[in-house]
Amino acid sequence: MQPSRIHHVGLPVSDLDRSVAWYREALGLTHESTAGVPEGVAFMVAPTGERLELLAVDPQPSAWDGPIAALRAGVPHIAWTVDDLDAAHARAVEAGGRSVWTPRDTPEPGLRIAFVADPDGNLCFPATRKLLRPELGPFSPRRLFRYRLFVGREPWTH
């Protein structure tokens, strides 16, 4: 078996209605029909087709200081590419998210990221790429992790 692409990613949430509203407002996702979907589950769909499954559970809060510590502690996260990082960050915060990292450059040339916690503390990680080198093409999560931004390095500061 060789996967062709990810079908969806799931995140735990404590209040399904609140989370559906937040992902709709903050990221512009649409709520997919729940016909045939078990109670306590909602699917959100990005304009580009990626799907996010929200699972109503009793998430256990964890204490962390900054996104790198959160990721290392196993806090769920999801990364999205956006055209305008500053606007996406502002929209997510205005919708009730908590800014964890304001938009900033990364060690990878042209890549900017931010972190926003959703109402349940899951990290939403918008990223954008300035095509400084057009031959690199559009943003690729595989390229991001190839640079090993989070493993064995001190996080960058801004």
The domains of the chain are located at 9-56, 67-146
Average pLDDT of the chain to the nearest whole number: 80
The answer to whether residues 67 and 118 touch, using CB atoms and an 8 Å cutoff, is: no
Residue linked to tokens 């992902």: 23
pTM over 0.95: no
pLDDT value for 135: 55
Identical fold at 9-56 and 67-146? no
As given in the structure block, the two tokens for residue 134 are: 């057009």
Is domain 9-56 annotated with CATH 3.40.50.300?
no
Confidence of residue 7 (pLDDT cuts 50, 70, 90): confident
Q: CA 138, CA 136: separation in Å to the nearest integer? A: 7
Q: What is the architecture, at CATH level 2, of domain 67-146?
A: Roll (3.10)
DSSP 43: E
Give pLDDT, residue 156.
47
- Residues near 43 by beta carbon (within 8 Å), at least 6 away in sequence: 8, 31, 32, 34, 37, 51, 52, 53, 54
Q: Who contacts 21 (Cβ-Cβ below 8 Å, separation ≥6)?
A: none
Q: Which residue has the tokens 């349940």?
A: 120
Whether residue 76 contacts residue 12, with contact meaning beta carbons closer than 8 Å, is answered with yes
For residue 126, give every residue at least 6 positions away whose Cβ sits within 8 Å of its Cβ, in sequence order, or none. Answer: 79, 80, 81, 82, 85, 88, 89, 92, 113, 114, 116
What pLDDT does residue 151 have? Answer: 43
Helix (H) or strand (E) holding 44, with range, is strand 41-45
User: What number is the average pLDDT over the span 62-66?
Assistant: 76
pLDDT digits (tens, 9 = 90+) for 101-147: 999 988 888 889 999 999 998 998 888 876 544 555 554 544 444 44
- For residue 63, pLDDT beyond 80: no
